[in-house]
Amino acid sequence: MNVQTPESGYHYNVMRRAIDLIDQGGEALSLEELAKQMDMSPAHFQRLFSRWTGVSPKRYQQYLTLGHAKALLRERFTTLETALNVGLSGSGRLHDLFLKWESMSPGEYARRGAGLTIYWGWFECPFGPALVMGTDKGICGMAFGAESGEENAMADMLSRWPNANFVEDPMRLRPWALSAFGAVSDRLEPTPLYLIGSPLQIKVWEALMHIPSGQVTTYSEIAQRVGSPQAVRAVGTAVGRNPVSWLIPCHRALRKSGGLGGYHWGLPVKRAMLAYEAAQADA
């Protein structure tokens, strides 16, 4: 089932291939050379990129380079204190996608999903196949199968709440999935999240949701924000265990060096997400 167009997955595959070619050819690879290696005209590649992001970007292959993360850290680093202070006047993730969320109590979390019904379905999105999971209260899981494989992504998510009852029901989740990936409609409600995690994980995930779209922060900055400046490793683990990728934007967390760090669903997906948001921010 598609939440955008039937070509959404195709567009991700094109960008994934472009990333590989840029890595092999170096960051000086021109748009013309890149398009030629992809058996496309430069104009056709530009059209595909524009259809993928929904905007006509000012720079094309630069968004996909490995050095793009370092440029983001240099030019668009945000402290979480600043992000929180900007609030409703800013263009943060909370306001872009109109999110609301609540978290499970520690006692409920300890039961590992017992007594909980979780609905699931696969959807096409700008980053390939997306597995969306949700309870009656909101989306509790989002995974991406383009790099890890759909079976592995499914097994990973099922293991997080082993005592829950899982029911396939994509139509039930479709309005939330549409909203999650930026569909605009007067009939769509806010995207609700139901966060299932430990107290530290919840604090880290809430901090991530305050990083504006098109900007990035560091793991150490997140640790500082949640009151655990010496626990960068534990915070990094909590970032990596984020169950609702994209909506809780763990892809915006980088190393201080500008390195990408890790990404649970594959670094090419993280790079694609950063490129997608940067192109929209620059439009």
| Candidate CATH numbers 1.20.1600.10, 1.10.238.10, 3.30.160.70, 1.20.1250.20; the one for domain 117-181 | 3.30.160.70
pLDDT at 272: 93
Measured from the Cβ of residue 71, the count of other Cβ atoms closer than 10 Å reads: 15
Whether pLDDT at 84 is above 80: no
Between 66 and 88, the more confident residue is: 66
Report the range of poorest mean pLDDT among 114-128, 180-194, 227-241. Answer: 180-194
pLDDT band at 92 (very low <50, low <70, confident <90, very high): very low
Q: Which sequence positions are flagged as catalytic?
A: 250
Q: What is the pTM of this model?
A: 0.85
Give me the amino acid identity at 282: D
SS3 state of residue 100: strand
Q: What is the CA radius of gyration of the chain?
A: 18
Q: How many CB atoms lie within 10 A of CB 35?
A: 21
pLDDT at position 231 over 90: no
Tokens 């609540």 appear where? 102
Domains 6-102 and 199-282 share a fold: yes
Ordered by start, the domain boundaries in the chain are 6-102, 117-181, 199-282
Structure tokens given for 144: 């991406």
When the candidates are 1.10.10.10, 3.10.129.10, 1.20.1250.20, 3.40.1160.10, the CATH number that belongs to 199-282 is 1.10.10.10
Q: Which CATH superfamily, name and number, covers 6-102?
A: Homeodomain-like (1.10.10.60)
